[in-house]
A and B are shown apart, each in its own frame.
Chain A
């Protein structure tokens, strides 16, 4: 196998990284978040450097600086998520990591996904998390320091967890770096063909672009798009039924959203339905699970009924208080 990073170097770097992560996990006495972070960053840095060196050696371009910056922010904030003792901060750091991940998505030319990620994850899911954290985190335990729960303050078996997880990472990266050269990117012709396929589905877009460029007269319409040796041509149909070939301008390319939309709705309509049903079920489940179970005992009910019969309005208030107590009783059980 042809490794782009030597396995020994890989393992050493991962070991350093693992030590850093293990150090930064919160524990009872010794918590070296910063030092651990630095060590972990060193490990990651070694690997990134090695990867970059390998790229240069092979004459391939390095990923741009934005990648490095965003990757460091993403990984760093992820490390903060798992090491920070306060859940609210962890959630906020997670939002940061989502944002930087969205940046990476943009670098990968997936603008729609980047914004979807920010909107869905950062905007919806993580906000829900924050709400739940605030709902559930008011710890009632006495012996906590600085309002941090014991289970937040101390990690569980950081060393074992780190060893196991980094063993998995090691195997994954070995596989990845060993096999990365065996996959090849698509050729330019293939790319162009894929582009044409999308454009064929967008006659309106082609029409608009041609009209803007003045290549098409009003009253004419685009009958089809096809790719030849010379380039990409649109078949333009005039009002009288005659057709002519028009070369498309270089700037006319389908956007990411358009391509994704055709892929998603054209190839996976059933899956979308299923996803919708799953979301509906999850919503129902969440409603059912999170509901407070009001227990109104028969006696209270009878009292309230009697009071109502007598026309006393305060009886309803009594009943309401019972509902609250009933909820508490349920949680005790």
Chain B
């Protein structure tokens, strides 16, 4: 078992489609959970957390495909996804702080009126 974990190399044996399907299912499930969270939670911070979760799910899928095809493109993309996530987090959190100062609330519904 430990051997299975540690004997990993950059170019292991090819992964089967079924194993890929497992990973992809986990990715999709995580994405869906993030989606449900985004749609149901009203706390702006949690909503952003959920978007991060969806990024992460996408990362799993990308790396699984990277592993499946035995190239590095997927991992490279995950780096960029991380970059975007970081940038998004920075801006989003700054915005959340800003909005919180305005309304004293983190509720997304506090910003529901469409005037101005």
Direct interface between A and B, CB < 8 A: yes
Given contacts A54-B21, A285-B91, could you give 13 more A-B pairs where the C-beta distance is less than 8 Å?
A4-B21, A54-B18, A82-B53, A97-B30, A128-B89, A137-B45, A158-B36, A188-B14, A255-B9, A263-B72, A268-B80, A282-B87, A286-B93
Q: Say whether A113 contacts B21, CB under 8 Å.
A: no
- Contact mask for chain B residues 72-83; partner A; CB cutoff 8 A; 1 contact, 0 none: 110110111011
The answer to whether B18 touches A51 (Cβ under 8 A) is yes
A-side interface mostly: helix
A125 touching B86 by the CB < 8 A rule?
yes
Distance A254 CA – B70 CA, assembled complex (angstroms): 13
* B72–A260 touching, CB < 8 Å: yes
B24 to chain A, nearest CB (A): 5
What A residues does B14 contact at CB under 8 A? 185-188, 191
Query: CB-CB < 8 A to A111: which residues of B?
Result: 8
Determine whether the beta carbon of A289 is less than 8 Å from that of B19: no
A224 within 8 A of B: no
Band of interface residues on A:
35 or more
A111 vs chain B, min Cβ distance (A): 7
Contacting residue for A180 out of B17, B29, B42, CB 8 A: B17
The residues of B that contact A104 with a CB separation of less than 8 Å are 23, 26, 60, 63
Tell me, rounded to whole Å, the shortest Cβ–Cβ distance linking A88 to chain B: 10
A177–B83 Cα distance when bound, in Å, is 30
Asked if A129 contacts B106 (CB within 8 A), the reply is no
Verify A110–B87 contact, CB threshold 8 A.
no
B20-71 contacts to A, CB under 8 A, are: 20-26, 28-37, 39-43, 45-46, 48-50, 52-53, 56, 59-60, 63-64, 66-71
A binding-site residues for B, Cβ under 8 Å: 4, 17, 21, 25, 44, 47-48, 51-52, 54-55, 58, 60-67, 71, 74-75, 78-79, 81-82, 87, 90-91, 94, 97-98, 101, 104-113, 116-117, 120-121, 124-125, 128-129, 132-133, 135-137, 139-141, 149-152, 154-158, 160-162, 164-166, 168-169, 172-173, 176-177, 180-181, 183-188, 190-192, 194-195, 198, 253-256, 258-260, 262-264, 267-268, 271, 275, 278-279, 281-283, 285-290, 292, 327, 330-331, 333
Q: How long is the Cα–Cα vector from A112 to B67 in the complex, in angstroms?
A: 13
In the complex the two chains form, what is the Cα distance from A98 to B85 in whole Å?
13
Chain A residues near B70 (CB-CB < 8 A)? 185-186, 190-191, 194
When C-beta atoms are compared, the residue in chain A nearest to B99 turns out to be A136
Determine the distance from Cα of A215 to Cα of B69 in the docked complex, in whole angstroms.
33
Smallest Cβ-Cβ distance to B15: which chain A residue: A185
For A288, the chain B residues whose CB sits under 8 A away are: 94
Q: A35 CB to closest chain B CB, in angstroms? A: 17
Known: A67-B22, A290-B98. A253 touches B42 (CB 8 A): no
Contact B40 A94, beta carbon cutoff 8 Å: no
Q: Is B114 an interface residue (CB 8 A)?
A: no
Our pick among B1, B34, B73 for the contact of A82 (Cβ within 8 Å) is B34
| Contact yes or no, A82 B50, CB < 8 A | yes
Complex A-B: 29 CB contacts under 8 Å: A51-B18, A55-B19, A61-B16, A65-B1, A67-B23, A74-B30, A90-B46, A101-B30, A110-B63, A112-B75, A117-B82, A128-B90, A132-B97, A151-B107, A165-B32, A183-B68, A185-B16, A185-B17, A185-B69, A186-B14, A194-B11, A253-B11, A255-B9, A256-B10, A256-B75, A275-B83, A281-B87, A285-B91, A331-B101
